[in-house]
Each structure stands twice: as C-alpha cells, then as structure tokens.
Amino acid sequence: MRYETVTSATNAKIRRLLMLQEKSRTRREEGLFIVEGRRELGHCLEAGFIPETLFVCESILPAEDQERLLKAASEANPELTVIGIPDHLYAKVAYREGTEGIIAEIASRDSSLDDLILPENPLLIVLESVEKPGNLGAVLRSADAAGADAIIICDPLTDLYNPNLIRASLGGVFTCQVVAAPGEEVISWLKAHGIRILTAQLQDSRPYYDTPMTGPTALVMGTESTGLTDPWREAADAHIRIPMLGKLDSLNVSVSAAILLFEAVRQRES
C-alpha cells in the first residue's frame, strides 16, 4: 500500500477523479468507476471488487472506519494507492452532499447472463428501458430487501457504475447480482432456464395477487410512460397488474417493483 498527499485541485489524479465521476465514457475507457461513502465502499469490497485508489480526508473519516476500510482495501489490492486530501479539496471532489471522508476508484468488471449464479427456485427482476439512476437505485434497494436473486436490465446503454445509481441504491448495486443485456437475449435465456415470465402491464392482465409466483419467476417491468415492448408482452407466461383505485393510472417503477417482489416473498413463505 502506497501513501501520498495531494493538496491542489489541478493535480492530475484529482482531475481524473472528477472525470470518472462525470463521464460514463471515461469510466468505460479507464475501466474504473467511483464509489463514495463508508457503507457503499464496504459493500463494494465485500462483493469482491478491486480498489485501485482511495482518496481519504482524515479530518472527516472516523479513525475506526479508516482503519477498517483501508485494511479491507489493501487485502483486496496490496498495490493500493492511498491519497490523503485536505478538507477544502475533499469538498470540491465529493459527489455527495453529505461528506463521509472517503472516495475510491474501483476496477470495473463486466458481467453477463451466464455469470449469474442462481438457486433452484430463483426470483428475478427484469427492467426494460428504465434508465433513470434514481429509479434503478430504488429498485435495487427493494430487490435487496426482498432477497431477489438477480436484476437484469434490458438496455445496452445503461451505465451500472453511474455515481447516482450507486448512491440511490445505497450500495445495492453491489449486494445484488446485476447484469445488462439486450431484451431478446434475456427472453431466450429465461425460456432456456425454465423461468416463468410475468409482465407488469394494464392490458389483458389480472391482479398480481391472483398470479402464482412460487416457482422460478421473472418479474418484468418497463417505463411508466411507454410500458413494455411487444416482444416482452408476447413472450410472457402471464400478464399481471397492480389495481389502480384512484385517478392516476401508474406507479413509479420502484414502487411497483417493491409491491410485486414482496408479493412473491409472501407466496413463497405461506
């Protein structure tokens, strides 16, 4: 583990850190992404990701957290670089409003459908064209709470390492198995693995609580504005809906995901 100190905002390592925060292209090219915060970094390291660099503000990060996180990070990467930065510089580079005193550059890794490790009776969430990091992050939190086995995102443009997504998920992007793949590939993969496809839609559907979810199940949802595309509707084993008893006709996708996930949990535990 190597230590150094940086005090200038014009330092090349600080400039790269800011670029990694702001640009998905830079994250792809560098093969790195940013994790900020004690809890999120802890989940990231527990998931086996490799840290490259830690930026630490010792006046903000409690000593016990610093010792714990540096120990875990150095065990994951003995060649780790730790850069100490002062308060005024940390305030410039911190992505979050609530500063926690630690930011990490982490080596990204690509995962595919074949990398998923599933139990005999899996419960999956599939999202089509849900790109807003806040929505994705909230779904990941619900998936973690319900013990879902994986989240599959059907959008090749989705950046799973967007700082807003990591922040909104509270690190759930690391506690859950998450992959991105084209929709047609996902449909074929689900069919080949005998996983029942339940699409959330208003048309030609029945209430979610009248639909069995006790076997291998994929709960599939689209955007609030456009819903799911025809290939998913046609591939579905059942169409389900959440009854809307008021004047509005849709829920936020993260709320819908939570309702459906915990119905599956209820059925499996009863």
Residues 64 and 119 in one domain: no
Residue 156 confidence (pLDDT): 63
pLDDT in tens, 15-58: 999 999 999 999 999 999 999 999 999 999 999 999 999 999 99
Residues 148 and 249 in one domain: yes
Residues 119 and 100 in one domain: no
Q: Where are the beta strands (DSSP E) in the chain?
A: 2-5, 32-36, 50-56, 81-84, 102-107, 123-128, 150-154, 178-180, 196-200, 206-207, 217-221, 238-241
pTM exceeds 0.75:
yes
CB 256 within 8 A of CB 152: no
Residues 232 and 137 in one domain: yes
Residues 165 and 91 in one domain: no
| CATH code (residue 17) | 3.30.1330.30
Residues 51 and 153 in one domain: no
Longest C-alpha distance within the chain, in Å?
62
Residue 159 to residue 28: CA distance in whole angstroms: 9
Residues 160 and 66 in one domain: no
Q: Where are the beta strands (DSSP E) in 118-185?
A: 123-128, 150-154, 178-180
Residues 138 and 61 in one domain: no
Residues 89 and 150 in one domain: no
CB atoms within 10 A of CB 15: 12
Last residue of a domain, one of 107, 130, 165: 107
CB 14 within 8 A of CB 83: no
Q: Is the pLDDT of residue 189 over 70?
A: yes
Residues 117 and 250 in one domain: yes
Last residue of a domain, one of 107, 130, 153: 107
Strand partners, 55: 83, 103
- Based on the number of CB atoms within 10 Å of its own CB, is 173 exposed (0-12), middle (13-18) or buried (19 or more)? buried
Residues 178 and 78 in one domain: no
| CATH code (residue 182) | 3.40.1280.10
pLDDT in tens, 71-96: 999 999 999 999 999 999 999 998 77
Residue 33 confidence (pLDDT): 96
More confident site: 185 or 222: 185
More confident site: 129 or 151: 151
Share of the chain above pLDDT 70, in %: 97
CB 130 within 8 A of CB 136: yes
Chain mean pLDDT for the chain: 92
Q: Is the pLDDT of residue 98 over 70?
A: no
Last residue of a domain, one of 78, 107, 136: 107
pLDDT in tens, 197-238: 999 988 889 999 999 999 999 999 987 667 788 999 999 999
Residue 251 to residue 130: CA distance in whole angstroms: 14
pLDDT band at 251, cuts 50/70/90? Answer: confident
Residues 135 and 254 in one domain: yes
Q: Domain residues for 143? A: 113-269
Per the structure, the count of domains in the chain is 2
Q: Is the pLDDT of residue 244 over 90?
A: no
